[in-house]
Amino acid sequence: SAVISQKPSRDICQRGTSLTIQCQVDSQVTMMFWYRQQPGQSLTLIATANQGSEATYESGFVIDKFPISRPNLTFSTLTVSNMSPEDSSIYLCSVLVRQNTGELFFGEGSRLTVL
């Protein structure tokens, strides 16, 4: 397992602004992922955060809207840019804990409300 700290845990933001979410892991991990969970929904993968290179985005998500940084093996950030009410979601950082089965460990998430 791993201890994952996400900041902020929740925030209320105004339309048109940007917010950066931080994810800190207590040990070095190979793979980190960012997921979005819209109200009442399941999890959707936004991107894989790659250490030292550009993130790999899933269909429907673009770097201009969700820039991601991963400067080292224990830290990543996700920015939600130019927010609209449709971006109101829980954003979850996760790390791969078992490579052969893909098991993930999650942070508690960052609940974002955009007014």
Partner 1 sequence: TQLLEQSPQFLSIQEGENLTVYCNSSSVFSSLQWYRQEPGEGPVLLVTVVTGGEVKKLKRLTFQFGDARKDSSLHITAAQPGDTGLYLCAGAPTGRRALTFGSGTRLQVQP
Residues that bind partner 1 (CB under 8 A): 4, 31, 33, 35, 40-45, 48, 58, 92, 94, 96, 98-99, 101-109, 111
Least distance CB 46 / partner 1 (angstroms): 10
Q: Please, which residue, 21 or 92, has the CB nearer to partner 1?
A: 92
Q: Which two tokens stand for residue 109?
A: 């998430």
8 A C-beta contact, residue 106 and residue 79: no
Q: Please, which residue, 75 or 105, has the CB nearer to partner 1?
A: 105
Q: How far is it, in rounded angstroms, from Cα 39 to Cα 19?
A: 19
Residues 6 or more apart whose Cβ sits within 8 Å of residue 56: 47, 48, 50
Least distance CB 34 / partner 1 (angstroms): 10
Least distance CB 97 / partner 1 (angstroms): 8
Q: Which two tokens stand for residue 76?
A: 């990543």
